[in-house]
A and B are shown apart, each in its own frame.
Chain A
Amino acid sequence: MSPEVYRLVAIDLPAMLGGLMAAVTCALLGNFLVLRRQALMGDAISHSVLPGLVVAFLVAQTREPLVMLLGAAGSGMIAVLLIEMVRRVGRVDPGASMGVVFSVLFALGVLLLEKAAVRHVDLDADCVLYGQPEYMTWLPPAQWDAFFSASTLRLVPRQLWILAGALVLCSGFVVLLFKELRIASFDPQLATAQGISARLMHYLLMVVVALATVAAFEAVGSILVIAMMIGPAVSARLLTDRLVSQVLVSVLLAGVGAIGGYWLAALGPQVLGFSHSVSSAGMIAVVCTLMVGVLVLLAPRHGVLSHRLRQRRLARRVLVEDLLTTLLRAQQAGDAQVAPDRLASVLGGARRSERAIELAMRDGLVQQDTTGVRLTERGEEVASRVLETHRALQRYLVEEVGVRESHAHETAERLEHVVDEDVLRRSGGE
């Protein structure tokens, strides 16, 4: 095994694997937090685990991960219950009640940490806050023949096992209770009426979120856990319309975020010529966040850009069709050609009419010469179809909807561009 490969296996592989498992675990749960508008509950929980960690540590005097996990999950649950209590009993705004509870618990944690420091025991606050996946190292034998043995597995860092456990637990939770989670998130009252207590589902989800947060904090730290929960889930929501595909896509994106983030942090700086790598946990969070930003702009159906494009395309179509029908009406009145300035007055300005003519000519719908604009054969065909739609709509509006005759024309003119054939047939076109 060459030194480079060994480095990869011993340092990069476990860290990357840890980040990946943490991200997938979190993203699975994040979907439901996002749908239930409880994204900030994840935030509150992740801040609140600190005192539980420290207390568990002070009581048990060990960094045994299971003990820490228990303590942290405990204080996470206390936070959830306290938030609920302050909100209900104290009638405090939900945001504020989260803010009060998690900051008080976090403050308690910091104060307790100081107590732990007095006893000269080593508990690193920074590690809790922003995690160090780089510390998860695996030191297997450097020879390939010794590599494949049971003892090698035993050297796998314990955090990885815990993350794997969390991943199994969360996937099991989501897969087994998918139906229940979906209905409780969509319509809690219906769920309760059908015997799926929405409140029970809420607390179950919160317990699992607390566990996932704690399992993941060694990899990415408690604050960055939020990025992994919310980032991939929101991104997936921008890409899909169904919950199942949303969950799957979010898992995929979480993987991309974790591996991409790690790679950027570990290797990116070297590409730029720096010798030091930067914090990979931070970078994973950044990637998960940027993902959302990029998709808000560029998502194929729900992105800002595609929305703009669709609007522009529709506006263009409306413009061209208006030009065509104007020309057709003129033709039926005996003018085969219409002068550009007359078109300008009908279409609302010379610039609009020029643009319309340009677009229609590109599609071979009109011809222009020195005297004016005329329809081509194809243009005539399109124009008469549009006009037919218009008449059918007008009839529908007057007879069925009860629109005043004088108004129906204007309204039909707007509808004709967007109505499809199917609707037209049903609206009494024949």
Chain B
Amino acid sequence: MSDVRGASLLSAHPEHSAESPLSIHAMTVAYRRRPVLWDVDYDAPAGALVAIVGPNGAGKSTLIKACLGLVAMASGRVAFWGRPLREVRGRIGYVPQRESVDWEFPVSALDVVCMGRYRKIGWFRPVSRAHKEVARACLARVGMEEYASRQISQLSGGQQQRVFLARALAQEADLYFMDEPFAGVDAATERAIIEVLRELRSAGRTVICVHHDLATAREYFDHVMLLNMRVVAAGPVEEVLTAENLRKTYGGRLTLLSEVSEAVARGEGG
């Protein structure tokens, strides 16, 4: 039963439109007076898994937050399928960084996933059985159905991340933003996340992930945006992850540079 429902979540294709699911134009974000993002232009391809990669403090999370209206832009424009955010909120899913919430909060894993349905439920009304079933199916898709009634503080880091992922699935969105979903997770979770990402892609959804690991970016994603305060390069993985681009992104950071060249060598060798 729940499997069927889980599959049905993906069966309906998002409406096709000529417009890119996410287009950013001339986005500049500044904290106090220091710019964090400078003049970012980007069009995301539809139905792809996109990684935003860059060094610490490159503004990766800020980019996502600015797209979603969580951080104010100093200038620029963001459109989703050619329309402003407020018209398409229902079609956008979000997986925030795990550290952004208090995991001691008194809710169970299922409660958290149900939060993804709140928009569909609406004001004042409690969560109905049908919505709970959907949430349960989403938990099953990330391999967490046994933990549905666990309090969230009793889950491991990876399991918490999967709960967040399930919540995003429960949103039944066409475009997903994920902030470091792979940060500090265990092997099982990494596999589960990849599995879900690929399912989403084959259902025509677009996923935009902040990602910190160059080595796996090549393996997991189709498109990459190299970011360091501004877009250094963006496009298909093979075209973008060149030594030259990486040098520009990571600049003179020696330790990182060696890691990067190693990653590139590994990628080109295999």
Contact = CB atoms under 8 A, between A and B. Distances in A.
Whether the complex brings A and B within 8 Å at their CB atoms is answered yes
Interface of A: 91, 401-403, 407, 410-411, 414
Nearest to A314: B33
Contacts, number: 15
Interface in B2-36: 26, 28
B39 A402 contact: no
B203 interface: no
Given A411-B39, A414-B39, A403 B104 contact: no
B232 interface: yes
Contacts of A411: 38-39, 230
B38 A402 contact: no
A418 to B, nearest CB: 9
A18 to B, nearest CB: 42
SS of B interface (majority): strand
Contacts of A401: 248
Contacts of B230: 403, 407, 411
A265 B232 CA distance: 64
The 9 A-B residue pairs whose C-beta atoms are closest, nearest first, are A402-B248, A411-B39, A402-B232, A410-B39, A411-B38, A407-B39, A403-B230, A91-B104, A414-B39
15 contacts: A91-B104, A401-B248, A402-B232, A402-B248, A403-B230, A407-B39, A407-B41, A407-B230, A410-B26, A410-B39, A411-B38, A411-B39, A411-B230, A414-B28, A414-B39
Contacts of A402: 232, 248
B229 to A, nearest CB: 9
B74 to A, nearest CB: 10
Nearest to B38: A411
Interface of B: 26, 28, 38-39, 41, 104, 230, 232, 248
A8 to B, nearest CB: 50
Contacts of B41: 407
A395 to B, nearest CB: 16
A411 B230 CA distance: 10
A410 B28 CA distance: 12
Nearest to A311: B33
B55 to A, nearest CB: 14
Contacts of B39: 407, 410-411, 414
Nearest to B75: A414
In this complex, the member of A91, A402, A410 whose beta carbon has the largest number of chain B beta carbons within 10 angstroms is A402
Contacts of B104: 91
B33 to A, nearest CB: 9
Contacts of B28: 414
Contacts of A414: 28, 39
Contacts of A403: 230
Nearest to A403: B230
Nearest to A401: B248
A161 to B, nearest CB: 48
A429 B36 CA distance: 25
B212 to A, nearest CB: 21
A407 B28 CA distance: 14
A109 B232 CA distance: 65
A9 to B, nearest CB: 52
B263 to A, nearest CB: 19
Given A401-B248, A402-B248, A414-B28, 12 more contacts: A91-B104, A402-B232, A403-B230, A407-B39, A407-B41, A407-B230, A410-B26, A410-B39, A411-B38, A411-B39, A411-B230, A414-B39
B104 to A, nearest CB: 7
In this complex, the member of B26, B104, B230 whose beta carbon has the largest number of chain A beta carbons within 10 angstroms is B230
Contacts of B248: 401-402
A372 B135 CA distance: 67
A403 B26 CA distance: 14
B230 to A, nearest CB: 7
Nearest to B245: A402
Nearest to B247: A402
Contacts of A407: 39, 41, 230
B21 to A, nearest CB: 23
A402 B39 CA distance: 14
A414 B104 CA distance: 45
A313 B97 CA distance: 38
